[in-house]
Structure 1
Amino acid sequence: MLQGPGSLLLIVLASHCCLGSARGLFFGQSDFPYKRSNCKPIPANLQLCHGIEYQNMRLPNLLGHETMKEVLEQAGAWIPLVMKQCHPDTKKFLCSLFAPVCLDDLDETIQPCHSLCVQVKDRCAPVMSAFGFPWPDMLDCDRFPQDNDLCIPLASSDHLLPATEEAPKVCEACKTKNEDDNDIMETLCKNDFALKIKVKEITYINRDTKIILETKSKTIYKLNGVSEKDLKKSVLWLKDSLQCTCEEMNDINLHFSVWPELSLFCCGSKTRLR
């Protein structure tokens, strides 16, 4: 099991004599000419790989991204899958592709092992499918080396056992509240606006979730001091969302009913709309 750059380096030194000639490792580009990659510090705003056990990554990476800008743009789309916790090694697998570990003494890029890909796919592909996304060709497990080669393995040989992890923390704005009719009426009365609205798009910026509203699909219950024009320009934020889970955010095809803190049953004051 690889625990960090030190243990990676030991495996590299032991295996270096067995490595073949250098060639491109970019998926879908088997004839792509070899291009020497460079070690770059993993930026703090690469949230997908926040807290990963190594500090430096290779560019170009294993997905063909040649700039850090490309990596940041593409990696953000995979954060929700990590948050679903479908497999304990999901982040490890994805980061081995988006931000492959970089060792100064080794030119070759270390790929994820075939078994790592298979285990993550078996657990996470059904989750993706439930939301209408197939397992992408660029993550075809047959592309990756067997475990007896130099590669990033599963974290534990006990991966076939059910994971026993702590229950994920639920975002404060997404906690279920047992409210009776009086509580709901009080909330409606003390706020400037209340509406039921559909989410158009969800993106991740730093550690927060940015929620863009589909203003054409809404039910307005109350709208004092806030115009529909204001609603069209507004976005909502779920702060520190990467440190917690929110089941309501798993399917943007649903209409949400959430109270003031998240405001997707948009109930609050005008200052909450930005």
Structure 2
Amino acid sequence: SLQGLVMLWILASATCVEAFHGMYPLGQQELLYKKSKCKAIPASMQLCSHMEYSAMRLPNLLGHETMDEVLQQAASWLPLVHKQCHPDTRKLLCSLFAPVCLDELDEPIEPCRSLCEGVKKGCAPLMSAFGFPWPDMLDCSRFPADTELCIPPASGPHLVPAAREVPKVCDACKEKVENENEIVHSLCKNDFALKIRVKEISYMNGDTRIIPESKSRTIYKLKGLTERDLRKTALWLRDGLQCTCDEMNNINAAYLVMGQNLDGHLVITSVKRWQRGHREFKRISRSMRKLQC
């Protein structure tokens, strides 16, 4: 599902990659505990909002030494949480980005290995679909066994509603069974149609920002839109962080994307997986090129 996507894309930002490679080795306690201080978790840190604790250690378990660095890196992981690939995703990430800080404990409390393994089982396939391997910073073998002092996975009946909760599907991604004429009719309500492959997905102000590969092909465009407009401008899926787009769940696939030019932003209104060699899509492509709305 696309809500990121990260993905992830979500995880594609250079700052996020630097976080993977710049973390402290978790076994080197002298590095982790040096000058460790308790700091209030900022209200602006959405990744760790509504946690059961309010104070975090700085430096954290990823080696971030300033709050600005923590906030920047943590924001890159919000899309993965919104994907709802596992109910403990937020808990695992916050235990690393904002480790719980207790005055009576000199040592930071790491996530339990079972917490990491559960999230990995749920989220690694989703990340892989977008071309991202499970990162070194979440190597579950680094974390202590459940018999030691660590943050365990959640358990109990309170998890059942979260696990069964069905996230909202983005309007543009809802499945619509349409024949050739209906799709062409839908196109006449829009300003453009593109056959694209996705180069990059990111999030901005709650919207999904999609950068198509340069080889994307214009099938139809309204007067006033140039090829340069369509090739240079990002496509937007409104409120993408608050909904899922299972239709666009593979960064390697091709898609038929329709949309409208709203205040200079190319906003997606419809996404369909492009069926390579599919007769219907060949006919649709021919029809659109001749289209006169």
Asked whether the equivalents of residues 226 and 270 of structure 1 are also in contact (C-alpha less than 8 Å), the reply is: no
Letter in 2 for 1:271: D
1:148 maps to what in 2? 147
2:171 maps to what in 1? 172
Measured after TM superposition, the shift of residue 272 of structure 1 is 5.2
Letter in 1 for 2:73: Q
2:118 maps to what in 1? 119
Output the CA distance in 1 between the equivalents of 2:137 and 2:189: 51
Measured after TM superposition, the shift of residue 202 of structure 1 is 0.9
Q: Deviations over 1:44-90 (max 9, x none)?
A: 55443344333333222111122334334433443443344332212
Output the CA distance in 2 between the equivalents of 1:54 and 1:205: 28
Measured after TM superposition, the shift of residue 100 of structure 1 is 1.6
Asked whether the equivalents of residues 200 and 214 of structure 1 are also in contact (C-alpha less than 8 Å), the reply is: yes
1:266 maps to what in 2? 258
Q: Deviations over 1:85-122 (max 9, x none)?
A: 33221221112112222334444211101221222223
2:183 maps to what in 1? 184
2:28 maps to what in 1? 30
Asked whether the equivalents of residues 47 and 206 of structure 1 are also in contact (C-alpha less than 8 Å), the reply is: no
Q: 1:252 to 1:125 in 2, by over 3 A?
A: closer
Output the CA distance in 2 between the equivalents of 1:249 and 1:41: 38
Residue correspondence of structure 1 range 10-89 to structure 2 within 5 A: 26-27=24-25, 30=28, 33=31, 34-89=33-88
CA-atom RMSD in angstroms: 3.2
Letter in 2 for 1:217: S
Q: 1:30 to 1:268 in 2, by over 3 A?
A: same
Output the CA distance in 1 between the equivalents of 2:100 and 2:197: 40
Measured after TM superposition, the shift of residue 155 of structure 1 is 0.6
Q: 1:203 to 1:130 in 2, by over 3 A?
A: closer
Output the CA distance in 2 between the equivalents of 1:146 and 1:29: 14
2:224 maps to what in 1? 225
Unaligned runs of 5+ in 2: 1-22, 267-293
Moved more, 167-176 or 65-74: 65-74
Letter in 2 for 1:100: P
Asked whether the equivalents of residues 193 and 268 of structure 1 are also in contact (C-alpha less than 8 Å), the reply is: yes
Output the CA distance in 2 between the equivalents of 1:214 and 1:44: 37
* SS in structure 1 at match of 2:213: strand
Output the CA distance in 1 between the equivalents of 2:196 and 2:247: 13
Q: Deviations over 1:12-61 (max 9, x none)?
A: xxxxxxxxxxxxx9336727534222333434554433443333332221
Output the CA distance in 2 between the equivalents of 1:129 and 1:237: 23
Q: 1:193 to 1:232 in 2, by over 3 A?
A: same
Moved more, 163-172 or 72-81: 72-81
Asked whether the equivalents of residues 47 and 75 of structure 2 are also in contact (C-alpha less than 8 Å), the reply is: yes
Measured after TM superposition, the shift of residue 196 of structure 1 is 2.1
* SS in structure 2 at match of 1:152: coil
Asked whether the equivalents of residues 125 and 135 of structure 1 are also in contact (C-alpha less than 8 Å), the reply is: yes
Task: With a CA cutoff of 8 Å and minimum separation of 6, indicate the structure with the bigger relative contact order.
Answer: 2
Q: 1:167 to 1:40 in 2, by over 3 A?
A: same
1:18 maps to what in 2? none
Residue correspondence of structure 1 range 184-203 to structure 2 within 5 A: 184-203=183-202
Letter in 2 for 1:27: P
Asked whether the equivalents of residues 57 and 101 of structure 1 are also in contact (C-alpha less than 8 Å), the reply is: yes
* SS in structure 2 at match of 1:112: coil
Q: 1:239 to 1:41 in 2, by over 3 A?
A: farther
Q: Report the TM-score, using the length of structure 1 for normalisation.
A: 0.73
1:252 maps to what in 2? 251
Letter in 1 for 2:192: F
* SS in structure 2 at match of 1:266: strand
Letter in 2 for 1:136: P
1:133 maps to what in 2? 132
Asked whether the equivalents of residues 26 and 32 of structure 1 are also in contact (C-alpha less than 8 Å), the reply is: no
Output the CA distance in 2 between the equivalents of 1:243 and 1:78: 14
